[in-house]
Chains A and B, each alone.
Chain A
Amino acid sequence: MRVALFVACFNDALFPGTGRAVTALLERLGHEVVFPPDQTCCGQMHWTTGYRREAADLARRFARVFRDYDAVVTPAASCAATVRASYARIARADGDDDLARAAEGLAVHELSEFLVDVLGVTDVGAYFPHRVAYHPTCHSLRTLELGDRPLRLLRAVKGLELVDMPAAEECCGFGGTFAMKNADVSVAMVADKVRHVRSTGADVLCAADNACLAHIGGALSRLRGGVRVMHLAEILAATGSPAAAVRA
C-alpha cells in the first residue's frame, strides 16, 4: 500500500526520530511511504488560539497537498483530530464550502488507527525490553477515540512491560498556547501528571502525540525525573537490531 506520511511541523523540526520510526515501521510491514514535500502545518495552533483566517489558509493548503492520496498517516494525534474534527468547523467559520468538501475527502489516519483498523495488525514485530506507561492524550482519547488500539499494539511488543498509570486520562496541561497563557495552571497540572508517571516505576512514558510528550517530558527533564518519553511509533519501530535503530 502507498502511504503518504504527514509528519507534522513540530515533529519535522523537533522530533524527526518519530517520522523516521513511522517510515521504518511501515516499510517493515511492506508498504511504500511517500513524503509530500509541500506539507507544512495543519493549522491546529491557529485554530485553537482563535486565528480562524490563518487556520483556514493552512487547512486549504493541507487539503491541496494531501487530496490525491488514498491513505495519509500521521504520528500526531492532535493534528489528525484537527483535520478530522475541526476542518469542517474551520470551513464553516471561513464560509468556504470547497474546503468543507475537500476536508471530507481526506483520508487522514492516526498511526495506531492505521495499523489496527486499516492494516489489521497489532503485532508489528517490535522488541522493546522496557517498563512502559501509556498516556492517552486528550485528542487521542476523546476526539479520535483511539480506545485501546495503542495498548493492543504495545502489549504485542516483545519484552515490553506495560504498566497502568493512575489518572491516565487526565490532561497533562499542555493545551497548545495554554501552556504559556496559563503557565501556572499548566505547570500545576503537569506536576500531577509527573507524579503519576513516576508512581508507575516505568522508565519510558509513551503516547501517540509528541506535543503532550514534549510537555510531560519537558517537566520530567527539568526535574531529572528519570523517565524518558517516547512516541508510540518509536517503540513499535524498535526491533533490537542495531540496523533498525531509528533514533538519532
Chain B
Amino acid sequence: MSGDSSVGGRASSSGAAPAPMPKFAVAARGALADTALRRDLRAVTGELRRRREAAVGELGDWEELREAGRAIRDETLLNLDAHLERLEKSVTEAGGTVHWAADAAEAARLVTGLVTATGHGEAVTAAVPAAREIGLYEALAEAGVTAHPTDLAELVARLDGGPAPADPAPPAFHRDRARLRELFVRALPDAPPDLPDDPAALAAAARAHLRRRLLSARVAVCGADFMVADTGTLVLLESEGNGRAAVTLPGTLICVAGIDAVVPTWDDLEVLLQLLPRSATGDRMSPCVSTWTGVTPGDGPSELHLVLLDNGRSAALADEAGRAALRCVRCSACAHVCPVYERTGGEPYGPRGGGPIGAVLTPLVEGVEDAARASLPYASTLCGACADVCPVKIDIPDLLVRLRGRVVESRRRRPVPTPELLMMRSAAWTMADRGRYEAALRSGARWARLLSRGGRIRRLPGLLGKWTDARDLPAPPVHSFRAWWRARPRHGGDR
C-alpha cells in the first residue's frame, strides 16, 4: 500500500483512483487455503464470541446501554463540527497542539514533519489504528525515520515482512505459537535460539524487546479510541501496556485519531467505556485504560500533538448511511461473530479494516467505482449476526444492502451494461407478467431436466457453474406448483 493521496475519502469524488487491491472473492482465496489461519481464526473468534456473550450477560441493562451508546454516537456525529471545535479549544488550553488533516497524505505528512522536527531519527508507535489508512510507516521510512511498532501484532507483522494487521482489536492471533517461535528466533533481536514455544516464554521475549524500545524512546506516535471534547482528554484502550508506556515515557507524543473518535463529555465516555471492552474482548474493562489531558510539567510528555484525520469521514456523514456507519467504535464484535470473517480473516477487506463494518466503511468512504471496493458490500450473506452484537446498534446488513444499491446504480450509468444487470433486468421483466413467468417456468424446467441425471444437476454453465462447482441442484419436477394447483380436482381453476 502507498501513502499517497490516492488513498482517500474524497478520492472517489475528485476522480483519483483509490489504491489498487484485489476483489474480495479473489483476496479471500489465499486466506481460505491457509489451514493454520483457518484453525486459529476459528479458535479465536469462537473464544471471543464466548467471552463477549458472558461479559454482556452479566449486565442487566445491556440493551439500554446499547441504545444509550447509539444515541450518544448519533448526536456526536450530527453536531460533529461543534464538538471538534470544543475539543480543539480544550486540547489547546491544556497545552497540546491540534493539527487538522483533510486526507491520508496530509496526515502522514504532518506526523512525519512533527517527528523529524524533534531531531530524532526514531519513533515508537503504539495502537495506531489509522497507520495503514494513512500509510504511516511508508511515510516515516521515506523521511528517514525508523519506526518501531510496539503492538505485538504489528511487531510480529513487521518481523514477518508483511503489512500491519488490518484488524484494530485482536492481538497477534493470526499466527500460532509454533510459527511465532520460529519467527522470533529468526527475526527478533536478542531472542534466544532455544526459545520455547509456550505462550508465556514468547510473550516474555517480545516484552523484553519492546520494553527496551519503549524505555529509550524519545518520540511516540499513538492513536486514541476516544477524545473527550469537554476536557480535551485523550483516551486509549489496550491490553498489552505498550500504549500506556508510549503515552507516558517519551518526551514528544503525537496522537493520530479520526475525527469520529470525539466524545462530548465524560458522562458519554462512561457509557462507551462499558460497551467497548465487553464487546471487543469480553473484558469488563480493558486491561489498560490511559487517559491524558494536554501536558503536565515534570510528568509525561512535554509536547503533545493531536492530528485529527478526516480522510473522507465528514463527506461520508452527509447521508444517513454514513452517519450510521460512523457510529462504529471499533470493537470488532461484528467481525468476531461474522461467519465470513471467521473463514477469511481481515486481510481481504483491505487496509481500512476487516469484518462486516470494514465491508461497509471502505466502500462508503472510498467509493464504489473500482471493482475491489464494489465487491466488499457483497462479502456477506446478510445473516444479521453482526447487527445483533453491535454495541451502538449499527444495522450493518441494511447498510450493506444500501451500498449494493449504490454499486448497481453506478454500474447502470456505464455505457455498456454488465451481464449481471442484463440478467437481473430480464428476471424482473419475466416476473412482472404472469404469462411470461409461467412460460419461463415451463421452459426452465425443460432445460434443467435435460441437464440433470438421477434427479440432480451436477454441472451448470456460466455464473450458475459457481454453484455446481461444489453443490448439486435438484432437478425441477415436471410440474410446477401452479401446474399441480390448476390440475387439482377439488379446486380446479384459478381460485
| Residue ranges of A at the interface with B (Cβ–Cβ < 8 Å) | 7, 9, 11-20, 23, 33-38, 40-41, 43, 45-52, 54, 57-58, 61, 86, 89, 93, 138, 141-143, 170-171, 173-190, 214-215, 217-219, 221-222, 248
Among A12, A35, A142, point to the contact of B495 (Cβ < 8 A). A35
Q: Is the CB of B405 within 8 A of A221?
A: no
Q: Is the CB of A37 within 8 A of B343?
A: no
List the B side residues contacting A52 at CB < 8 Å: 405, 408-409
List the B side residues contacting A36 at CB < 8 Å: 495
Given contacts A36-B495, A189-B339, A214-B474, contact A171 B424 (CB under 8 A): no
Complex interface residues of chain B between 437 and 466 (CB less than 8 A to chain A): 437, 441, 444-445, 456, 458, 463-464, 466
Q: Nearest chain A CB to B198's CB is how many angstroms away?
A: 30
List the A side residues contacting B406 at CB < 8 Å: 50
Question: Which of B375, B421, B473 has most chain A Cβ within 10 Å?
Answer: B473
Q: Is the CB of A35 within 8 A of B482?
A: yes
Q: Nearest chain A CB to B52's CB is how many angstroms away?
A: 15
Q: Within the assembled complex, what's the spacing in Å between the Cα atoms of A43 and B482?
A: 19
Which of B98-106, B248-256, B265-273, B425-433 forms contacts with chain A?
A: B425-433
Q: Is the CB of B469 within 8 A of A188?
A: no
Q: Nearest chain B CB to A210's CB is how many angstroms away?
A: 10
Q: Is the CB of B495 within 8 A of A57?
A: no
Mostly, the A contact residues are: helix
Q: Is the CB of B494 within 8 A of A37?
A: yes
Q: Is the CB of A179 within 8 A of B466?
A: yes
Q: Within the assembled complex, what's the spacing in Å between the Cα atoms of A225 and B456?
A: 14
Q: Nearest chain A CB to B454's CB is how many angstroms away?
A: 10
Given contacts A45-B427, A50-B404, contact A182 B24 (CB under 8 A): yes
List 6 A-B pairs, Cβ < 8 Å.
A16-B481, A18-B481, A37-B434, A49-B378, A182-B378, A185-B343
Closest to A217 in B: B474
Given contacts A12-B441, A16-B477, A20-B484, contact A175 B401 (CB under 8 A): no
Q: Is the CB of B401 within 8 A of A50?
A: yes
Given contacts A184-B29, A221-B472, contact A174 B381 (CB under 8 A): yes
Q: Is B32 an interface residue (CB 8 A)?
A: yes
Among B382, B434, B467, B479, point to the contact of A179 (Cβ < 8 A). B467
Complex interface residues of chain B between 359 and 387 (CB less than 8 A to chain A): 375, 377-385, 387
Q: Within the assembled complex, what's the spacing in Å between the Cα atoms of A78 and B476?
A: 21
Beyond the given A142-B384, A182-B28, could you list 4 further A-B residue pairs with CB under 8 A, ordered by the A residue number? A50-B409, A184-B32, A218-B473, A218-B474
Given contacts A40-B431, A175-B381, A188-B343, contact A13 B441 (CB under 8 A): yes
Q: Within the assembled complex, what's the spacing in Å between the Cα atoms of A190 and B382?
A: 15
List the A side residues contacting B428 at CB < 8 Å: 46, 51, 54, 57-58
Q: Is the CB of A222 within 8 A of B470?
A: yes
Q: Is the CB of A12 within 8 A of B480?
A: yes
Q: Is the CB of A183 within 8 A of B495?
A: no
Given contacts A50-B408, A51-B428, A181-B25, contact A7 B481 (CB under 8 A): yes
Q: Is the CB of B424 within 8 A of A54?
A: yes
Closest to B472 in A: A221
Given contacts A35-B485, A180-B467, A248-B477, contact A142 B385 (CB under 8 A): yes
Given contacts A11-B481, A12-B481, A12-B482, contact A173 B381 (CB under 8 A): yes
Among A18, A51, A54, A180, point to the contact of B463 (Cβ < 8 A). A180
Task: Please encode chain B, from 332 to 361, with 1 for each CB lying within 8 Å of some chain A CB and 0 for all others.
Answer: 000000011001100000000000000000
Closest to B412 in A: A53
Given contacts A38-B434, A182-B28, contact A189 B343 (CB under 8 A): yes
List the A side residues contacting B473 at CB < 8 Å: 214, 218
Given contacts A188-B343, A190-B471, contact A49 B385 (CB under 8 A): no
Q: Within the assembled complex, what's the spacing in Å between the Cα atoms of A185 and B33?
A: 11
Q: Is B219 an interface residue (CB 8 A)?
A: no
Q: Within the assembled complex, what's the spacing in Å between the Cα atoms of A48 and B420?
A: 14
Question: Which of B32, B441, B474 has most chain A Cβ within 10 Å?
Answer: B474
List the A side residues contacting B378 at CB < 8 Å: 49, 177-178, 181-182
Among B339, B387, B404, B474, point to the contact of A14 (Cβ < 8 A). B474
List the A side residues contacting B491 at CB < 8 Å: 33-35
Closest to A62 in B: B431
Q: Within the assembled complex, what's the spacing in Å between the Cα atoms of A184 and B458?
A: 17
Among A58, A174, A175, point to the contact of B432 (Cβ < 8 A). A58
Among A20, A54, A222, point to the contact of B481 (Cβ < 8 A). A20
Among B25, B398, B402, B444, point to the contact of A182 (Cβ < 8 A). B25
Q: Is B308 an interface residue (CB 8 A)?
A: no
Q: Within the assembled complex, what's the spacing in Å between the Cα atoms of A23 and B486?
A: 13
Among B339, B403, B432, point to the contact of A61 (Cβ < 8 A). B432
Q: Is B152 an interface residue (CB 8 A)?
A: no
Q: Within the assembled complex, what's the spacing in Å between the Cα atoms of A143 and B385?
A: 11
List the A side residues contacting B444 at CB < 8 Å: 13
